[in-house]
């Protein structure tokens, strides 16, 4: 009989004795029969919580800075969220006018004007509705200007950036409108002659429309780098001219 066989038999008898002893002591025999199973693989650290935390932190949307707002109604500041006072909104007591400035460095002025409205939404822009009644100036954009002044029911509107301005002035029922960047629209009179019912409209960049002085003139520009001027009574100029 080989030594290997005796060795195996010896191991078997040894394990049998240990198992019997374990049973007598109330200990599971399997713990001794297979000692190599007692050592399990070391557990891996749970990183799910830290991973989830890191993921949440990296993907969380950044909060946009709040736009400062100042609002004045009938001579009273009714809202002011600008701690640095870069927005300015002013009205005159007793005139029932309204001014709202939204954006850093913006100004809305509706003073010396009955039931007038000046509204700015943008950075570094100005809306002015003054010296009359029911005038309206509105700016939506940056570094632009709208002025409705020296008359009644004048309207100036700008939608765009870096505009010289929309100006409706020196008369009644004048309308100036700019849609685009770097453009200019003027409707109304001048220091020598007032103008009423004039309309100047620009749709484009770097263009100019002038309607007035005198009454009932219309100047319309559609395009970039163009100019239209309607002066006299009841004159209409459209650039480029409409197709025949």
Spans of all domains in the chain: 1-38, 69-239
Assigned token pair, 10: 């010896």
Q: Around Cβ 197, how many Cβ atoms within 10 Å?
A: 20
What does DSSP assign to residue 162?
A: S
- Average pLDDT for the chain: 84
pLDDT by residue, tens only, the chain of 244 residues? 444 443 444 444 444 444 443 444 454 444 434 444 444 455 555 555 545 554 455 566 666 678 999 999 999 999 999 888 899 999 999 999 999 999 999 999 999 999 999 999 999 999 999 999 999 999 999 999 999 999 999 999 999 999 999 999 999 999 999 999 999 999 999 988 999 999 999 999 999 999 999 999 999 999 999 999 999 899 999 999 988 7
Residue 240 to residue 25: CA distance in whole angstroms: 108
Q: How does DSSP assign 54-103, residue by residue?
A: HHHHHHSPPPPPPPPEEEEETTEEEEE--TT---EEEE-TTS--EEEEES
How buried is residue 166: exposed, middle or buried, by Cβ count under 10 Å (0-12/13-18/19+)? Answer: buried
SS3 239: strand
The reported pTM is 0.75
């Amino acid at each position: 009989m080989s030594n290997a066989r005796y060795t195996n038999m010896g191991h078997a008898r040894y394990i049998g004795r240990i198992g019997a002893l374990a049973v007598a002591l109330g200990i599971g025999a399997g713990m001794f029969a297979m000692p190599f199973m007692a050592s399990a693989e070391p557990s891996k650290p749970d990183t799910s919580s830290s991973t989830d935390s890191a993921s949440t932190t990296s993907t969380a949307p950044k909060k946009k800075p709040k736009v400062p707002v100042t609002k004045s109604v009938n001579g009273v500041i009714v809202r002011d969220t600008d701690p640095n006072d870069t927005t300015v909104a002013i009205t005159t007591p007793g005139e029932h006018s309204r001014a709202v400035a939204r954006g850093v460095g913006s100004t809305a002025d509706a003073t010396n004007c009955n039931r007038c409205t000046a509204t700015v939404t943008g950075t570094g822009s100005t809306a002015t509705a003054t010296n009359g009644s029911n005038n309206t100036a509105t700016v939506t954009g940056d570094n632009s200007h709208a002025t409705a002044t020296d008359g009644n029911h004048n309207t100036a509107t700008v939608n765009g950036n870096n505009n010289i301005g929309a100006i409706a002035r020196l008369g009644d029922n004048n309308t100036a409108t700019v849609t685009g960047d770097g453009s200019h629209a003027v409707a109304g009179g001048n220091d020598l002659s007032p103008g009423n019912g004039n309309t100047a409209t620009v749709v484009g960049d770097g263009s100019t429309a002038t309607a007035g002085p005198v009454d009932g003139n219309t100047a319309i520009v559609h395009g970039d780098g163009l100019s239209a001027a309607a002066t006299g009574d009841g004159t209409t100029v459209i650039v480029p001219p409409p197709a025949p």
